[in-house]
Structure 1
């Protein structure tokens, strides 16, 4: 299959590389010319603009947007206006708000698939988990690419109509917040409790057969191995929060109680009002380090 990829940041480049490795042809564009050149060196056909991507693709265009959520998505779609039609498919692989995805599906001439993407940089090797909303025919048409980008056929599915993919990803991120907060609180008690514990050893032991083993717990083990049981200079500041905020807002509208997700979100907001040099809450420091583990987000540091 021939695929156009617009946006060659960490996640977009993984899409390109995994598609190339699976034998698909890729036309790649980014506003960063160096990123386009690197993708071309890897085997993609370079494009110098979004219209050029559309020009290089065949009659049935398959385009994957991996640009920041919000205005950049609308800007890319504006540039595709008139260049795609009802036989074409556009995938939005970013963390868009599901309401925006529903609107874009109505306004875009091509079939629009909202694709919630989870897995972070680890997806380069393992593949992503893809939660997809939109027309069934468009999902089926893109299945060979989804098989390549995801962990395999079991790593993606159509969740339902337009907006449902990003809706499921929104809730996924809310669950992620709560899990990170739970691990953080448990390790905070261990760190400040009555025994002098090696937290890397604790995490490693839990990761081998315990009920609470998980990838996030593996990242806790990695954090303690690299930072030490006291988490070194990791600051009490947790960035992010948009998808968690959307989750809580939707829960309020649907009158569904989500106290754990709400509290995890509140802890993130509270972390931004602390003194950067104050060691602060261990649980929030661990959550910040976990964000690096799965997403390679910058870790705020404090002065020792």
Structure 2
């Protein structure tokens, strides 16, 4: 098939590579034109240096896959494309947009006769070699027509992708996927910290990981990644305890509250990420001070003092 890609970063660039390798004709545009030029030389991507040029170079019915950040960047791009595309053209948002925004964009584009498909795309930097998992929202007929693209990008032709519902459903499913991911990662991290704290057994964490990878009910790709990490530096000396979040975990927690669905593990894992970014943990300081005042419990100071109020 012929497809245009807007956004040729880590995932967008690899999606372009995988599609070209699969025999598709790919035209690509990126804000940083140097990246576009590099991919043109590397894989034979047809370069475009503006949205207008990208649309001009595609044959009707045009298919455009957007792989750009959620929020203002994707909103601005879709608004621009709305005036460039024709009725029947297809816009695919493969990024991490909020599902409510995807519903709204689908409705606005449909007023112009433009089809919208939201693809919750999982696979990260490994998608090029391992394939992508794709949760897809939109009209069934449109998605069926796009099947050659999805089968090329997926781990197996008939596995790893599928229509999960109407517009917005793809990004909703990806939002919950990421919330689950937060909980799994947090559980692994806590488990390994407990093992490391049991000094008397002197666990080789890499060895434990490799045992769990075979036959254990907690074996997973995340555990394989942990094995690779621990092989390099078990003490993680060069890594700061600062964990970002993409936003989807937050949306999942809000959605759970709106739906009256208890989700304590996902919620706490999000809070732990936020806690990791607190440079000065004021609440912890206040807790220590309160505990000292009502019970005389020892607290730690930045200096040599051991009790609240001492110099």
TM-score scaled by structure 1?
0.88
SS at structure 1 position matched to 2:164: strand
CA–CA distance in structure 2, aligned partners of residues 107 and 247 of structure 1: 25
SS at structure 2 position matched to 1:5: strand
Instruction: Give the match for residue 134 of structure 2.
Output: 130
* Contact preservation (8 Å) 1:241, 1:265: no
Give the stretch that moved more between structures: 76-85 or 65-74.
Answer: 76-85
Instruction: Give the match for residue 257 of structure 1.
Output: 262
Instruction: Give the match for residue 29 of structure 2.
Output: 29
SS at structure 2 position matched to 1:269: helix
Shift in Å, 1:85: 3.1
SS at structure 2 position matched to 1:151: coil
* Contact preservation (8 Å) 1:174, 1:243: yes
CA–CA distance in structure 2, aligned partners of residues 126 and 223 of structure 1: 19
| CA offsets 1:178-218 (integer angstroms, 9 cap, x no match) | 00010011111100014101101110110011110000011
Instruction: Give the match for residue 151 of structure 1.
Output: 155
Instruction: Give the match for residue 96 of structure 2.
Output: 95
Instruction: Give the match for residue 116 of structure 1.
Output: 120
Shift in Å, 1:165: 0.2
CA–CA distance in structure 1, aligned partners of residues 74 and 136 of structure 2: 17
Shift in Å, 1:231: 2.0
Shift in Å, 1:156: 0.7
Shift in Å, 1:141: 1.4
Larger Rg: 2
CA–CA distance in structure 1, aligned partners of residues 268 and 89 of structure 2: 42
2:243 equivalent to 1:233: no
| CA offsets 1:132-162 (integer angstroms, 9 cap, x no match) | 1011111111110111122132111001001
CA–CA distance in structure 1, aligned partners of residues 145 and 87 of structure 2: 13
Shift in Å, 1:86: 3.5
2:18 equivalent to 1:14: no
| CA offsets 1:4-29 (integer angstroms, 9 cap, x no match) | 00100000001111110010001110
Shift in Å, 1:78: 1.8
Which residue among 269, 276, 281 is the counterpart of 1:271? 276
2:222 equivalent to 1:221: no
Question: Residues 129-208 of structure 1: matches in 2 within 5 Å?
Answer: 129-152=133-156, 153-193=158-198, 194-208=200-214
* Contact preservation (8 Å) 1:236, 1:274: no
Instruction: Give the match for residue 2 of structure 2.
Output: 2
* Contact preservation (8 Å) 1:132, 1:156: yes
CA–CA distance in structure 1, aligned partners of residues 124 and 193 of structure 2: 25
SS at structure 2 position matched to 1:154: coil
CA–CA distance in structure 2, aligned partners of residues 241 and 82 of structure 1: 30
Instruction: Give the match for residue 290 of structure 2.
Output: none
Instruction: Give the match for residue 293 of structure 2.
Output: none
Shift in Å, 1:241: 4.7
TM-score scaled by structure 2?
0.86
* Contact preservation (8 Å) 1:51, 1:79: no
RMSD: 1.3
CA–CA distance in structure 2, aligned partners of residues 241 and 180 of structure 1: 14
